[in-house]
Structure 1
Amino acid sequence: MGKKLFVFLVVLMSLSLIGIIFVQSFFINNSLQNEEKNFTLSVKRALSFVSRDIEEMELRNSLIKLQPFLSKNERPDSTVIKRLFITTEDDINDKTIVHRNTVLEERFKVPSLFFEIDADSFAISKRSNERVTEIYNNSQIDGKNVIAPSERLIQYSSMPALDRQMYEDTFKDMLKDIPIYKRVTALQVETLLNRELKDEGVNLDFEFAIYDDDLATKVQTENFEKENAYGVYIFLDNNNESSYKLWVDFPDRRKYLLSSIMWMIVLSVIFTSVIILAYSSAIYQLIRQRQISQIKTDFINNMTHEFKTPIATINLALDSIKNPKIISDEDKVKRYLKMIRDENKRMHAQVENVLRISKLDKNELNISKDRLKLHELVEDAITHVELIVEDRKGYVNTHFKAVKSSILANETHFTNVIVNILDNAIKYSDDAPKIDVYTENIGNNIVLKIADQGNGMSKQVAKRVFEKFYREHTGNVHNVKGHGLGLAYVKKIVDDHQGHISVESEKGKGSTFIIRLPLIS
């Protein structure tokens, strides 16, 4: 896959993923708005029922208060038959205000003090289709003569429509000037709100208040806030107007609305997270595969380069041996044979490294472990490289401070681990290799440190130095031969020994490889 095509696919997939997230967010927001609309409709419907219930409760209570003043054994006041009178006294202006509903059948007069209005008495009868308000001087009406009624009023709920309307109109006019806290209590409002909201499916804590022309009244709860409240007019007069408004606030409204679509949000987050993780993993794997592909290409090129030299050397040696002048010279033949053998061993060692890594990846490499002294393994490994170090005028010094060094290890493989690290220290030292080997006990572990004063490496390289096929990029310069398998093999073996390996390095100041292994008693 070309680089441009790869970038195009990544960008296209990223935009698609962002689009999916945007669409999900849009639908969740839509659902939340729909839930809010449904909630608002339910609350307003409940408030309208509460307003109706409050008015009916007031009318019903007013009629119940009249019942004790009405008798079945008395006759109605025939002088004002077919009229309903409600009279109120205006002592300041020395006048009487009479509310009269005409076309009435019977009239009954009862004390008005029972209804907490400033009047000596009022009269009421059964029917009305016209309402008139008249004002008389007190000298014109003897308001203090109370006439005994002749029969009880019938129940409000069973009244004919015309009778009911007559009573409602009359009482609305009479009660509208009474203070709101005397007409309805906070407990009554709360009880009605609880009932109607539950009937609408709104099981949520609320605060309420009744306002009179935007001024708060005594009928309210302590924590009411009007900012996000829902309102409805109550105590409408005969013109369907009122200065009183009942407001209801739901402090947990937002949480309630979110909880109604929480399952949708949770599932959306889960599925989106899975898609993002899968997408990220896929992109990472694609990038990783491209990197591995490039590394393998570099590895093949490097291996080919390294095999060409020994093969060419072997061919030249064989051609030389075929020469009649050379074949008769025993010393030269031995020399060429030794060259062929050394180059063959070199190629064999490289192939073995590849096979070792392959077997370790497949868990096919059988590693038997015995009780060994780490110090002895280190000294044995040093003997493999000491001639090369001496030839380059360098040194390998040991500083064994560990009192206990018994570990469970495979002698061959762990010796190769130490040799590989020492070989790297030699190869990556431009000057004479200077290597120090340290051991110390930390808890139940032994720590082995191999420090050199070579070229060192950057932090980015140190993070990846144990990866298979990885080599630091040096352009087309192959001043140090290798194929990026040595340290990968080292890490595999250390991990198989339940150990841990790391490296500390700084460019130009050398590197320190640190191996931690568990001790055995």
Structure 2
Amino acid sequence: MNKLFFRVLVLLMSLSLIGIILVQVYWFNTSFKNNDEQFKFHVKQVIGSVADKIQKQEAYNFYDKINHYRDSTGKVPKKDDILEFYYVQKNPRTNKTIIYSNSIISEDYNISPTFFDKKFDSEKFKSFNSKRVTEVYNNNSIDKSNVTQSLIPDIRIEKTGNLDVLDNASFEIFYKDFASVLPIQERVSKETLNKLIKKELEESGVNTKFEFSIYNNNLATNVKSNEFKYNKEATYSTPVFTDNEGNSKYQLLVTFPHKKKFLLSELVSITVLSIIFTLIILIAYSSALNQLIRQRQISEIKNDFINNMTHEFKTPIATINLALDAIRNPKIIDDREKVLRYLQMIKDENKRMHAQVENVLRISKLEKKELNIIKESHNIHDIINDAIEHVNLILEDREGTIKSHFDAVRTTVLINDVHFTNVIVNILENAIKYSPNVPEIEIFTENIKDMIIIKVKDKGLGMSKIAQKRIFEKFYREHTGDIHNVKGHGLGLSYVKRIVDDHNGQVYVESEKGKGSTFIIKLPLIN
């Protein structure tokens, strides 16, 4: 049930993390698309405004030129009545008659055709005026037949003025027809266009590099920026210089080479924060998952430790109980030799349990830095020989051998003889325990620079690459089927690592599964 709960928990945490990342990616894509749409909207507004302004500027320049020419010639315009309108209202009761008349007069300034172009020799630039008259006749018999007769009205109101609507319509028709045959570079310069686009973009908050060009029927004209290149994704267009029918053969194109960079820059701050927070969540999740896995591993290792410790204590306790029962036997108690043998067994088993307890306490004190380690000068070969003596009885019981190859010339090191003897003993005991056949162990020493190298080689079970990385961890033991087939509790090599580190040395293992292991210790020499 615990395993299932753990797996479900990991699955839910993983799905939640993936969901958060996917939401962040979706939000980023959506924000980028929204920014792209807003960018497109602003740019369309800008180029539309630019197109409108350059056309109005062209009309203003043309009108200003006409006025200057007209004023400079001093000609009196020729006037023509093009429309006259009358309206008569008579009140029979009061005998009052009101006549309203409206006349539209055109004024032709006879502008020389050479001012424009020979193509416009039949064109006339005209302006239009209106004359509006209201006449009131009292007690006069006026009817439709004598409206135009010369009668003096009792009241006469006359108004005159320009007809701006007709003037503007006439001017726009005339100037657009004229301008349509001019080359584009005479209608607008690239400098003027560049300044106008830049100003409009800045006012809209689009502060990024742009290039522009005016196309004539899908072909580029000379009115363009130096680095203009058409890009379907980043180029926007609008008609410019429309004619009297509302059509245009010109298109204003504006492209943004760094469009994506500009759009991303608007999201950069919130995106960076989003990435940072996502990374924090990812790191926290990875750390939590790692801790969960490690806790499970530690729990399993501790269970192994308890099982092995129980097993190792159970055998000595059982042996001691059997020995005590044997001593109580009336037939044995009077046999001095057998009593002494059973007492020795009790002592040996008690010593074995004591050694296990000491090993645990030693590791505990070492972790709390309460272990007092006093170092003195010693010959490392003497320490190794002393350790060999400690394991001789176990080795003889297994009919094993230890061969020494002491090739080191300089052997004096600063160590604690008791603890370092335990280090070598632990390594030798492991070599004996993990040799399924008759133990064959070799010990080598050699000098490399200012170091002495100690190698303990066996022909035992060996270990996997994973085990080699974790062999010096507290409580760690590689599983070999039945966890009790080799007695131990995973503390010996942890102790070895701690002691060697405290002596400013290094310890590591080289091993191959089924071919044995070599433990290597490097220690600094005393100069």
Please give the range of the TM-score, normalised by the shorter of the 2 chains. Answer: 0.7 to 0.9
Q: Deviations over 1:467-517 (max 9, x none)?
A: 222222233363321111111211122222232221111122110111223
Q: In the alignment, which of 155, 158, 180 is matched to residue 176 of structure 1?
A: 180
The alpha carbon displacement at 1:9 in A equals 1.4
Task: Find out whether 1:109 has 2:113 as its counterpart.
Answer: no
Paired residue secondary structure (1:304): helix
Paired residue secondary structure (1:430): coil
Cα distance, 1:160–1:381 mapped onto 2, change above 3 Å: farther
Q: Report if aligned partners of 2:500, 2:506 keep a CA contact under 8 Å in 1.
A: yes
Task: Find out whether 1:462 has 2:465 as its counterpart.
Answer: no
Q: Report if aligned partners of 1:65, 1:114 keep a CA contact under 8 Å in 2.
A: no
Q: In the alignment, which of 213, 218, 227 is matched to residue 214 of structure 1?
A: 218
The alpha carbon displacement at 1:376 in A equals 2.9
Cα distance, 1:54–1:393 mapped onto 2, change above 3 Å: same
Cα distance, 1:177–1:356 mapped onto 2, change above 3 Å: same
Q: What amino acid does structure 1 have at the position aligned with 2:217?
A: D
Larger Rg: 2
Aligned residue in 2 for 1:24? 24
The alpha carbon displacement at 1:80 in A equals 5.4
Q: Deviations over 1:390-410 (max 9, x none)?
A: 554433223333343443322
Paired residue secondary structure (1:371): strand
Q: Distance in 2 between matches of 1:254 and 1:80?
A: 62
Q: Distance in 1 between matches of 2:15 and 2:508?
A: 40
Q: Distance in 1 between matches of 2:105 and 2:402?
A: 127
Paired residue secondary structure (1:231): strand
Aligned residue in 2 for 1:155? none
RMSD: 2.6
Aligned residue in 1 for 2:142? none
Q: Report if aligned partners of 1:82, 1:103 keep a CA contact under 8 Å in 2.
A: yes
Cα distance, 1:164–1:425 mapped onto 2, change above 3 Å: same
Q: Deviations over 1:7-64 (max 9, x none)?
A: 1111112111111111122112111111111111111111111101211221122233
Q: In the alignment, which of 240, 246, 251 is matched to residue 252 of structure 2?
A: 246
Aligned residue in 2 for 1:132? none
Q: Distance in 2 between matches of 1:391 and 1:317?
A: 21
Q: Report if aligned partners of 2:405, 2:442 keep a CA contact under 8 Å in 1.
A: yes
The alpha carbon displacement at 1:451 in A equals 1.1
The alpha carbon displacement at 1:287 in A equals 1.6
Q: Distance in 2 between matches of 1:383 and 1:82?
A: 138
Tell me the percent identity: 53
Aligned residue in 2 for 1:87? none
Q: Could you state the TM-score of these two structures normalised by the residue count of structure 1?
A: 0.84
Q: Report if aligned partners of 1:420, 1:486 keep a CA contact under 8 Å in 2.
A: yes
The alpha carbon displacement at 1:179 in A equals 2.1
The alpha carbon displacement at 1:190 in A equals 1.4
Q: What amino acid does structure 2 have at the position aligned with 1:70?
A: R
Q: In the alignment, which of 251, 261, 265 is matched to residue 255 of structure 1?
A: 261
Q: Deviations over 1:103-141 (max 9, x none)?
A: 565432334445456345854344489xxxxxxxxxxxx
The alpha carbon displacement at 1:205 in A equals 0.8
Q: Report if aligned partners of 2:80, 2:106 keep a CA contact under 8 Å in 1.
A: no
State how many pairs are aligned: 474
The alpha carbon displacement at 1:362 in A equals 2.8
Cα distance, 1:170–1:514 mapped onto 2, change above 3 Å: same
Q: Report if aligned partners of 1:110, 1:121 keep a CA contact under 8 Å in 2.
A: no
Q: Deviations over 1:126-171 (max 9, x none)?
A: 4489xxxxxxxxxxxxxxxxxxxxxxxxxxxxx9676445433321
Q: Distance in 2 between matches of 1:210 and 1:443?
A: 80
Aligned residue in 2 for 1:327? 333
Q: Report if aligned partners of 2:78, 2:109 keep a CA contact under 8 Å in 1.
A: no
Q: Distance in 2 between matches of 1:495 and 1:287?
A: 27
The alpha carbon displacement at 1:385 in A equals 2.0
Aligned residue in 2 for 1:9? 9
The alpha carbon displacement at 1:81 in A equals 8.0
Aligned residue in 2 for 1:227? 232
The alpha carbon displacement at 1:353 in A equals 1.4
Paired residue secondary structure (1:448): strand
Cα distance, 1:104–1:507 mapped onto 2, change above 3 Å: farther
Q: Report if aligned partners of 1:28, 1:264 keep a CA contact under 8 Å in 2.
A: no
Which 5+ residue runs of structure 1 have no aligned equivalent? 84-101, 130-158
Q: What amino acid does structure 2 have at the position aligned with 1:484?
A: G
Aligned residue in 2 for 1:62? 62
Cα distance, 1:253–1:325 mapped onto 2, change above 3 Å: same
Aligned residue in 1 for 2:283? 277
Which 5+ residue runs of structure 2 have no aligned equivalent? 84-102, 131-162
Task: Find out whether 1:309 has 2:309 as its counterpart.
Answer: no
The alpha carbon displacement at 1:354 in A equals 1.4
Q: Distance in 1 between matches of 2:204 and 2:82?
A: 44
Show the 5 A alignment for 1:347-386: 347-386=353-392
Q: Could you state the TM-score of these two structures normalised by the residue count of structure 2?
A: 0.83
Aligned residue in 1 for 2:491? 485
Cα distance, 1:296–1:61 mapped onto 2, change above 3 Å: same
Q: Report if aligned partners of 2:79, 2:105 keep a CA contact under 8 Å in 1.
A: no
Q: Deviations over 1:429-463 (max 9, x none)?
A: 23332222223333443322211122212223222
Return 19-28 or 461-470, whichever deviates more.
461-470
Q: Deviations over 1:153-207 (max 9, x none)?
A: xxxxxx9676445433321122112222221122222121111111111111112
Cα distance, 1:108–1:401 mapped onto 2, change above 3 Å: farther
Task: Find out whether 1:424 has 2:427 as its counterpart.
Answer: no
Cα distance, 1:399–1:127 mapped onto 2, change above 3 Å: farther
